[in-house]
Amino acid sequence: MKKIVITILLICLVLSFVSMTCAAALKFAFMPGIADPFYFTMEKGAKAKAAELGVELIVGEYPKAWGPEYQVPILKALVARGDIDLLFTAPTSTEALIPVLKEIYDSGIPVITVDTYLGDGDYSKPSNYNFPLSYIGTDNFLGGQVVAGQLALLLGGKGKVFLENTNPDVSSVMDRELGFRAGLKIFPDMELVGVEYCLDVQETAVAQVSAALQKNPDLDGVFGVNVFSAQGAYQAVVSAGLEGGVKIATWDATETLIEALKRKELDLILAQMPGEMGSLCVEWGFKYLTEGAEIPRKVIPGFFVFTQENVNDPDSQKYIYK
């Protein structure tokens, strides 16, 4: 009898330990900006790190289009579960996402912004948007400068170029535009002849770049600042039969763009490190919650520039979005 009681007590002890450990598993939520290979790759990186650290990662439904009207309802549903310990998300607007993310933060959920930031992205000074623990994402201004420099070199320092952007209220793509403009200034014979915003719709980018090619028959180069604007710009140049003649600089290493680069139908691709960004969000979030670690207000992974020369190098392959 004594033995049975001891055994039952031991089982209870083990069960309560197991349930305590289960209850202690942290739950992080990830809310992407749009369904595209960039965020799919980010999710993969985050999932791998979460599995390593024993964190449960809950991924919000991928918005089918870009913008607060798509992102906010999904975000609200995600945190309404009531069991989220930390949220990382890419705000689809520098201003429009402030109230909803502030509300989430005020409800006790720490927030990290990944890929894009709120306000001017400086979370270290007093403001109504300084509540996120950190911005984890690319130095887009620097990347824009690099693209301008590379495009200028491809054109021998002289030429007319067009910029295909997405949304004027999104930090990532606007910093790319500002960096690109600043980079071009170094070359007095490089001229930016136009900028359009496709609102992250590839078909619109095709139409806008096609119109720019017609309006500027002497156009020398195009820069598409993200997956859909870049793929649209590429499509427009190819449809006009101008690939090879008009230089195409793009951003985001999707399989589509990589294959085009291998065929020498476009000239360069700036690859961000979305997997690394997702992984860093989970890692820093974990350190913050379990060790009280202070997260740097900005964490900036690097980027890689694919060219026709290095696109087949074995070392370059890890930068292709998965």
Positions that interact with ligand T6T (CB under 6 A): 33-34, 36, 38-39, 115-116, 172-173, 226-228, 251-252, 272
List the beta strands (DSSP E) in 166-287: 190-197, 221-224, 247-251, 268-271
| Other Cβ atoms closer than 10 A to 275 | 23
Closest approach of ligand T6T to the CB of residue 139, in Å: 12
Q: Which is nearer to ligand T6T, 173 or 282 (CB)?
A: 173
Closest approach of ligand T6T to the CB of residue 24, in Å: 34
Residue with tokens 């024993």: 54
Residue 61 carries which side chain, given as an amino acid letter? E
Q: How far apart are CA 283 and CA 268, in angstroms?
A: 31
Closest approach of ligand T6T to the CB of residue 189, in Å: 29
Closest approach of ligand T6T to the CB of residue 299, in Å: 15
Q: Which is nearer to ligand T6T, 224 or 285 (CB)?
A: 224
Closest approach of ligand T6T to the CB of residue 307, in Å: 19
Q: How far apart are CA 101 and CA 256, in angstroms?
A: 34
| Other Cβ atoms closer than 10 A to 123 | 20
Q: Which is nearer to ligand T6T, 86 or 198 (CB)?
A: 198
The answer to whether 212 and 180 have CB atoms below 8 angstroms apart is: no
Closest approach of ligand T6T to the CB of residue 247, in Å: 20
Q: Which is nearer to ligand T6T, 46 or 190 (CB)?
A: 46
Q: How far apart are CA 3 and CA 280, in angstroms?
A: 50
Helix (H, G, I), strand (E, B) or coil at 16: helix
In this structure, are strands 268-271 and 304-307 parallel, antiparallel, or unpaired? antiparallel
Q: Which is nearer to ligand T6T, 207 or 242 (CB)?
A: 207
Q: Which is nearer to ligand T6T, 155 or 273 (CB)?
A: 273
Q: What are phi and psi of 222, to 5 degrees?
A: -135, 145
Closest approach of ligand T6T to the CB of residue 23, in Å: 35
Tokens describing residue 298: 């900005």
Q: Which is nearer to ligand T6T, 201 or 211 (CB)?
A: 201
Q: How far apart are CA 269 and CA 140, in angstroms?
A: 14
